[in-house]
Amino acid sequence: MKIYHYTTIESLALILKNKTLLFNRLDCVDDIEEGSVMSSGINIGQYVFVSCWTESAEESIPLWKMYAGNKMGVRIGLERNMFKQYLVQNPRLGGQQAFGSMHMYIPPEELENPDYFIFPIHNIEEDFFCRKVQYVEDVNEKTRNTVIITPTGQDKVNATISFGEIGRYKHKRWSFQNETRFVITISPFNPFFSKPEEVATVALNSYMQNKIICFDKYFLHLDLTVLANIEITLSPNATEGQRVIVESLTRQYAPNGTIKPSSLGHLVKI
């Protein structure tokens, strides 16, 4: 099943050359409301990164206008299962030896970074990773209890964070996007670099202090076979020069890809 992403020709060039897909931190996206979600004093959106797509094969005039740089844009179509998989076997994490193996979309070396931890993802069908956005009247109502802090006595508390609820809801005013998104959660600490008995305390302190992740973009590598068969739709008002640029990029980086004109080409001016 193909899904679609509206973007600029410049971004297309980087996707093809680097064979990666950009994820933006949720507090940096254009929907200010969902990016500023607070729960129990924690700005939880700063730990969630998203890449935004739509399953609608019908071209969208608003999406062309908003995300494809007016005339300098394209719509790319890729199979939903588009990410490169890595085999992780018996990893050594924070000096601790783990045993077993699994396939996941995160490069194994990322698990060894002491400053942050990317929640492992390994199945495109998981709702935690690939989500259909739900459009609601009140985003805050849906997310205000994402973080639940419960006193346990002796000046101690338990905290539960439902990361699966962040990046899931947008106000109904955005429903024209008909959005499906890929979501990555990144914590501002790596639990494997703490003593087991200290992990809960380190986690709670990191979140309660709104510890900052020092980057606002993350890139996942794409499966080369999927990328090679990319479908590219030109902007409704694409010029001949832009078509030549896209053809040149495709010829160099994705020779099996297809380029087609917009179905709106003689109907609208973007």
Q: What is the DSSP string of 26-90?
A: GGGSS-HHHHT-EETTEEGGGGEEEEEEE---S--HHHHHHHS-TTSEEEEEEESS-B--EEEES
- CB count in 10 Å sphere of residue 137: 8
Assigned domain for 91 exists: no
CA nearest neighbour of 119 among 133, 105, 130:
105
Assigned domain for 265 exists: no
pLDDT in tens, 134-144: 999 999 999 99
Assigned domain for 99 exists: no
pLDDT in tens, 148-162: 888 777 767 778 889
Amino acid at 129: F
Assigned domain for 202 exists: yes
pLDDT in tens, 46-87: 999 999 999 999 999 999 999 987 678 999 999 999 999 998
Q: The domain containing residue 72 runs over which residues?
A: 2-83+114-260
Assigned domain for 109 exists: no
- d(CA 176, CA 56) in angstroms, rounded, equals 11
Percentage of the residues of the chain whose pLDDT score is greater than 90? 67
Assigned domain for 226 exists: yes
The CB-side HSE value for 23 (13 A sphere, CA atoms) comes to 25
- d(CA 39, CA 29) in angstroms, rounded, equals 19
- d(CA 132, CA 54) in angstroms, rounded, equals 9
Q: Rounded to 10 degrees, what is the CA torsion of 134, 136, 140, 146? A: -30
- d(CA 230, CA 259) in angstroms, rounded, equals 9
How many domains is the chain partitioned into structurally? 1
Which are the contacts of 247, defined by CB distance < 8 A and separation ≥ 6?
259
Amino acid at 128: F
pLDDT confidence tier of residue 91, bands split at 50, 70 and 90: low
pTM score > 0.85 for this model?
Answer: yes
Assigned domain for 28 exists: yes
